[in-house]
């Protein structure tokens, strides 16, 4: 339910996640102080059942909590129940324009629905989606992007584009509330990081529904991860946000890896392997970049929390390796392996990667 308030500039207040309502997407809690959940979206053709199922499985293995699947046409809707049956995590159906596709997806077992009510059409069509969602206990995510804000709102707010975005989202939420919907998530995304931050800050002050954070059209794996971390990191540190997606143009598994790293950095999830690696210089005695990248790729799906240090020389190497759960410090003769702060043995350069992976596997089974 929306709270009273306007669309003014945020006063920088720090919020607590416990202020948002809790809902469930399948068995995953969202809001009300629940752990921040990680989402991604398949980029296969949904009508290609095998390819989509394989990608969902890859996302599950990487640590995805909720997966979203686009249903742009009838063929995709026909494939949806087959995909849903093979998924082990909640599946959200992403619908635009056609309310009948949304109705069909919910009837086919979707754990959640993502719509932009503004492009569904007449209010009666949105009402039909709301009715089925209520009957089936399915949450609706209102997804509003800067690119979809009505021109009349942009004109009304003039240079304050964020004000138009917030009013658009709030109007759509209030419409669903009036229809009796009691499980709503909201996203207010822009490709501009500062607009995104401002929009979520403002909306968090006028509503206690859970917020799905993201920077839309963030970009490639490299630049998109940086933009997303800049925007989402600030909001999460302020206590804003209940579930996240780092949207990248590339393999969606990379989105999960980036999300896990971001949440771990902020102390919001003690999960996954944090790889510490020196930037390297002329003192480096091993290919730290190649080794650390290979480690990150190999351990992407591990849920156990562990800090692994891969250091190229003796300047900071022994100290960082000793402080980590597992680490190697290279010198001119090879590397010294540390486990839980204690030097364990000396190894050769070509043994670093297999040794690290073997030790991670051993620790993960404890």
Domains and CATH numbers, the chain: 17-265 (3.20.20.20), 273-364 (3.30.413.10)
d(CA 365, CA 252): 27
Which has the higher per-residue pLDDT, 3 or 185? 185
Average predicted confidence (pLDDT) for the chain: 91
Which has the higher per-residue pLDDT, 192 or 10? 192
Q: Where are the alpha helices (DSSP H) in the chain?
A: 49-62, 74-86, 99-107, 123-136, 151-157, 161-178, 193-204, 221-237, 252-265, 288-298, 317-323, 352-364
Instruction: Beginning with the edge strand found earlier in the chain, give each strand of the sheet holding 212-213 in spatial order.
Output: 184-189, 140-145, 112-115, 91-94, 66-70, 37-41, 243-244, 212-213
In the predicted model, is pLDDT for residue 16 greater than 60? no
Contact between residue 240 and residue 204 where contact means Cβ atoms under 8 Å apart: yes
Assigned token pair, 298:
């190999």
Nearest Cα to Cα of residue 232 among 18, 5, 39: 39
Single pTM value for the model: 0.89
d(CA 257, CA 221): 11
Nearest Cα to Cα of residue 163 among 272, 7, 341, 270: 7
Q: What confidence score (pLDDT) does residue 302 get?
A: 85
Condensed to tens digits (0 to 9), the pLDDT of residues 295-334 reads: 988 988 788 899 999 999 989 889 999 999 999 999 999 9
Condensed to tens digits (0 to 9), the pLDDT of residues 202-221 reads: 999 999 999 999 998 888 99
Q: What confidence score (pLDDT) does residue 11 get?
A: 47
In the predicted model, is pLDDT for residue 357 greater than 60? yes
Q: What is the mean pLDDT of residues 157-184?
A: 96
């Amino acid at each position: 339910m929306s709270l009273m308030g306007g669309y003014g500039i945020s006063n920088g207040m720090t919020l607590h996640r416990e202020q948002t309502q809790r809902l469930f997407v399948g068995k995953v809690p969202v809001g009300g102080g629940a752990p921040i959940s990680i989402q991604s979206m398949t980029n296969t053709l949904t009508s290609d059942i095998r390819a989509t199922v394989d990608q969902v499985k890859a996302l599950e293995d990487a640590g995805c909590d909720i997966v979203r699947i686009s249903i742009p046409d009838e063929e995709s809707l026909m494939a949806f129940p087959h995909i849903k049956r093979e998924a082990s995590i909640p599946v959200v159906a992403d619908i635009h324009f056609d309310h009948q596709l949304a109705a069909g997806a919910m009837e086919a077992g979707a754990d959640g629905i993502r719509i932009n009510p503004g492009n569904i059409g007449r209010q009666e069509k949105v009402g039909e989606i709301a009715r089925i969602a209520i009957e089936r206990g399915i949450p609706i995510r209102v997804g509003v992007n800067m690119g979809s804000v009505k021109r009349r709102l942009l004109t009304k707010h003039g240079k304050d584009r964020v004000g138009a975005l917030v009013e658009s989202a709030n109007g759509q939420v209030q419409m669903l509330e009036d229809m009796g919907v009691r499980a709503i998530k909201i996203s207010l995304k822009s490709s501009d990081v500062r607009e995104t931050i401002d929009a979520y800050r403002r909306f968090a002050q006028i509503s206690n529904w859970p917020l799905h954070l993201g920077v839309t059209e963030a970009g490639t794996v490299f630049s998109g991860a940086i933009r997303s971390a800049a925007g989402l990191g600030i909001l999460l540190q302020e206590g804003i946000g209940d579930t996240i997606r780092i949207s990248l143009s590339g393999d969606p598994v990379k989105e999960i890896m980036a999300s896990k790293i971001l949440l771990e950095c902020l102390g919001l999830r003690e999960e996954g392997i944090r790889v510490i690696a020196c930037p390297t210089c002329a003192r480096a005695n091993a290919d730290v970049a190649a080794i650390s990248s290979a480690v990150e790729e190999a351990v992407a799906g591990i849920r156990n929390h562990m800090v692994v240090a891969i250091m190229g020389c003796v300047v900071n190497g022994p100290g960082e390796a000793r402080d980590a759960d597992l680490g190697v410090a290279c010198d001119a003769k090879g590397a010294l392996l540390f486990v839980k702060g204690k030097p364990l043995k000396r190894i050769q350069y070509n043994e670093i990667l297999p040794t690290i992976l073997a030790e991670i596997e051993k620790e993960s089974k404890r």
